[in-house]
Each structure stands twice: as C-alpha cells, then as structure tokens.
Chains A and B, each alone.
Chain A
Amino acid sequence: MSFSFNDINITKIENLKKRYPSPKALTLPLLWMVQEQEGFISLEAMEEIAKYTTRPAMEIYKTATFYTMFNLAPVGEHHIQLCKTLSCALCGKDDILAYIKETLDIEVGETTKDGKFTLTQVECLGSCGTAPMMQINQTNHESLSIEKIEKILEELQ
C-alpha cells in the first residue's frame, strides 16, 4: 500500500511551509492532512511525511502514536466520542453510554458490523457547561438526553 498526498494537499503544503521557521513544524498539520484524506494514518503515510518534514520516519511515528486523535487504523463512518470526565459523569454520562451500547450493540472501542459507527469514550472535550456531551466526527452534540441521542442515531443510520 503506497501513499501520496493529492494535488490540493500538495498546494496546501507549499503554502503552509511559509508559515513555519522549520519544516519539522509541519508534522502535526501533515498528520491531520493524511487523516482527512485517508481516514487514518498508515506507516507509508508517515514515511511520506518524513520526507516533507526532513525528519526520520521513526520521529513521525513517535509523534503520531502520542496523540490520541490520530487514528492509526480505520474507524467507522461515524466516530462517536462520548466524554467521560467528571462534569459529564456528574450529569448522567453513564445512562447515555448504556443507551448507545444497547442501541448499536457494540462495546466501547468497537465498530458496528456495517462499519457505520465506532464508539469510544474520551476525556474532557471542554463542554462541561452543556454536559453530558459527545462528538461525532467533528460535530459537537451537547446537553444530551436519551430522546436527543435517539434522534441523532436515527438520522445517521
């Protein structure tokens, strides 16, 4: 499996280079770019990033494996990330989790058989004032209730 950036991204990288004093700083932006292009980050993609950033591929691997938001394997079409930290826990996160698990028939960390949903629990997403909350891909769903989540899941099915 080989990897290359698409033309739009190659143009983007050229512009982005001018913004930083060293190409090493492109590491995180390019990891994001790969994930947005491919859905996850393969070892081949890391080798490609190494060329652009003038770093050994191992350094890219070290960085990629440190940050929890980088998917090193494919995830479902809709990645449900339910916040599990204190304010959400105090405001009923457990009920929401039980409902999702039952409805989608998956455990935390699993993907539905049709590849549509992946469920993970994540640490504080900075929405404590509208707890409980979850993020599906990049979209925040705040002040969750069972009725609300029922609707959200239905719409995505």
Chain B
Amino acid sequence: MSDTTLQETRIVSQKFRIPNSYTLETALEHGAYSTLTTALFRPASDITTAIKESGLRGKGGGGALAGEKWLLMPTDDSRPSYLVVNCDESEPGTFKDRQIISKDPHLLIEGMILTSYAIGANEAYIYIRGEYQGFEKILQDAIDEAYSSGFLGKGLANTDFDLDITIHRGAGAYICGEKSALLESLEGKRGHPRLKPKNKEPEWYFGNPTLVNNVETIATVPYIVQNGALAYSKYGTSQSAGTLLFAMSGHIKNAGVYEVAFGTPMLEYINHFGGGIRGDKKLKAVIPGGSSTPVLTADEVANATLDYETLRSLGSSLGTGGMIVMDEDTNMVEALKNLLEFYHHESCGQCTPCREGTGWSDRIVAKILRKEATSQDIDKLLGIADIMNGKTICVFAPAVSGVIVSFISKFREEFELKE
C-alpha cells in the first residue's frame, strides 16, 4: 500500500538527523549562519521581497502569506519594531516546533536575525509554552552560544546590526497561541485575544509595531534567503508553496514528524511514514491539522491531499498539519468528549458564547455517553455550535463549533446509538 517514491523534502528538518545538531559547532559545520554575511549587507527589503515571492505561508495554523504580513510593518516609524516568535505550541496533535528548537535551534536564531533585519527590529522574543522547559533549556543554551560567538548582540556577525533575543515563558494557557492573546500575555496580562482591526495592520506590543510568526515559519527563512524564492516555491502546489513539518499521532504504527511538500496525498503520507494503522486495523477518521480542524472520514482521507485548498474544499482545514489518526474501534462520542473537555478548560472566558458554549456542549456529550440523552439533545448541541460560530472575538469558538458539527454530521449514528 505504501508508495515507495514518497520522500521527505528536508528544508527546515535538514539537520534533524545529524547528531549534536543543536550545538553551535555542529550547526556551523553544516552551514548555519552562512546567510548573514551576504544578506545583512544588502537592503533589508531584499529579504522581504524574497519571502513574498516564495509564497511562504505562516506555518502555525493560519496559513496567511508571510510576505504580506511582513509588509504591514512600517518602514518609517519613530517607534521601535519588535519580532515575536510564537512557540506556544499547544494545539493537540501538534509537536513540530519542539523538533526545531531541540534539534536545530540555531536555524531558528538565524531566521530570527534575518527577519528582524528585514523588519528593522533590534529586540526579539520567543514566547515558549511553560511545559517546554526541557526544550527551552536547549534553546537558551543555543542563544547563549550565539551571543558568545558574536551572532547575537551588538554589531552581530561583524555588521552594524544589533539584535537581542529573549525567551519569554508562558504558563499553561492554550489561548496564548493566538497572536494577540500572546502579546497580551507578553505584556504581563491574562491571555485574552484582542479585537481584530478593520483594516490590515501589524500587531502591537506596548503600542509598538510588532510581527508575530510561528517558529517553523521563521525557521524557513534562511533557506529562502540562501537559495532564492524559486527554490522554495518549486515545491508544493501553486497556492500552497513549499513544505510543512507534518505530524502524525494516535492509532498509527510510527508516530512522528516528517517534512513533505504541500500537495502530498494524505493517505500515502500516513501509510508510508506512519506504517499504517496500529494492529492492522481499518482507518476510521483523521483530524487533519490539530484538534481544532473538522474531522475527516476514511473516504475523505482517501481523496485528500495535504494542502490548504484541498482541505478547505473538504470542509476542513490544514491547520498545523498535526494529524490525529483514529482506527475503526474508536468511539467518536468519547473522542469528541475528550476534545470538548479540552476546549472547556482552555476557553479564556472572555466571550459568553465560548465560555458557556464549551461547557454546555461538554455536558451534553457527557449525557450522550451516559445514554441519558434525548433526541432533542443532538439538535441542542448543533444549536450551541451555531451560537459559538462567528460571534466571538477570536476563532477559538468557531473552531470548536466546526469540530462539533463535523463529528455529529459524519458520525451521527454513534451519537444516536442507545443500548
């Protein structure tokens, strides 16, 4: 069943399998920081242009075009600019950023230097989830090494560019992965997402223009700067250019993270890298891109390719590319219950439809599991999902809504089953 021609395209994961790749010495042997000597002597706009032309899309889940986001940063503003890297990896099913910061932290640092230079920032932060203290230590050691070797600080790499990088540790709030909540948290407050502006504008950190990008997005920058936009956009599809560190977990033989080009058939990916379903059972469903993306049935998975457009056409989303694989014996009511507990716990509580809706739907699904539900309860659940969709400050509640609707519409008989 597996397709032997399927291969990884290692752009971000280039050094992952090299022993001690997290040390500066090994990273330098394999070309780390080599882009700085040329890129930092050329106009900053060259980098932004390359990123825009490469078609690089944000790899944290949203998939917005990175170049367009960078261009929102002002070039003639008296206020300081900031770069904030989102390493609050908390989306269930997602464990890719931790690979980068523990296996190739210097790639991230190099990407941060290039990005900061492009947007004119001299201060950058990495917001890391509190539970990643083990990985944080590896990253901090790499930053310390970069400082002592002159790759960070004043006049880095013998240029006149200055950059300081500070790791800022979160403390267990899923919502802080949402970029405006992350900035609130970085300002010392509760992680409450901010209202979205009417027109596109940068993010704001203490009222200063700020760019927020995911770890993997920033770690892709050195490759594009080194090899050019075309070298990146030749991979993937016309609209989903390049690669992503896709991940698999759940009922799969070989769970893990493998970088492939967008457009790779989903089932081939699962069978080839994952080795198929545990215990050679049948596939029942896949949550394609972190738990906040609507679930796909086995039939849908068979037709899916791993790119933004195809998954959207299937009524789901590529998200973070973290696939949760479920076999034929999975109880879908229990699976939804598990996710609703998560969302109920993680709702920041700011908007009523989300704060109340996540708990209410969790209680109804618990009732279904206890076989105490009536025929009206499923409709009530769908009604709550409708109330949660499009009526809140951030996309948390609409995502939960989509998850509920997908589970019920695709596996309704399991929700109606009474024995």
Contact = CB atoms under 8 A, between A and B. Distances in A.
Interface string B312-338: 000000000010101000100011001
Contacts of B256: 129
B326 A90 contact: yes
A131 B92 CA distance: 12
B255 A69 contact: no
Nearest to B164: A19
B153 to A, nearest CB: 12
A32 interface: yes
A103 to B, nearest CB: 24
Contact of A131 (B90, B188, B249, B330): B249
A35 to B, nearest CB: 9
Interface residues of B, number: 58
The residue among B166, B188, B189 with the most chain A CB atoms within 10 A of its own CB is B188
Contacts of B287: 86
Contacts of A151: none
A86 B95 contact: no
A67 to B, nearest CB: 3
A105 interface: no
A89 B92 CA distance: 11
Interface stretch (B113-121, B171-179, B195-203): B171-179
B132 to A, nearest CB: 7
B171 A131 contact: no
B173 A129 contact: no
A99 to B, nearest CB: 19
Interface in A97-142: 122-131, 135, 138-140
Contacts of A146: none
A124 B188 contact: no
A28 B188 contact: yes
B129 A126 contact: yes
B410 interface: no
A66 B191 contact: yes
Contacts of B247: 128-129
Given A21-B208, A85-B342, A129 B188 contact: no
A62 B350 CA distance: 13
A123 B335 CA distance: 14
A31 interface: yes
Interface in B163-192: 164, 166, 168-174, 185-191
Main secondary structure of the interface of B (DSSP, over half): mixed
Given A31-B171, A67-B172, A128-B322, A87 B188 contact: no
Contact of B257 (A62, A67, A86, A129): A129
Contacts of B334: 89
Contacts of A66: 173, 190-191, 348
Given A123-B345, A129-B256, A69 B338 contact: no
B248 interface: yes
A128 B188 contact: no
Given A28-B170, A87-B92, A87-B250, A125 B188 contact: no
A60 B330 CA distance: 43
A126 B335 contact: no
B32 interface: no
B168 A21 contact: no
B373 interface: no
B171 A90 contact: no
B131 interface: yes
Interface string B251-280: 100011100000000000000000000000
Contact of B131 (A22, A53, A62, A69): A69
A89 B338 contact: yes
Interface in B205-264: 205-206, 208, 247-251, 255-257
A31 B188 CA distance: 10
9 A-B pairs with the lowest CB-CB distances in the bound complex, closest first: A27-B188, A67-B171, A128-B249, A69-B172, A68-B172, A87-B249, A129-B255, A66-B190, A69-B171
Interface of B: 80, 89-95, 98, 123, 129-134, 164, 166, 168-174, 185-191, 205-206, 208, 247-251, 255-257, 287, 291, 322, 324, 326, 330, 334-335, 338-339, 341-342, 345-346, 348
Given A67-B171, A87-B92, A128-B95, 17 more contacts: A24-B188, A25-B186, A28-B185, A59-B189, A69-B172, A84-B341, A85-B342, A87-B249, A87-B255, A90-B249, A123-B342, A123-B346, A124-B291, A126-B98, A128-B92, A128-B93, A130-B255
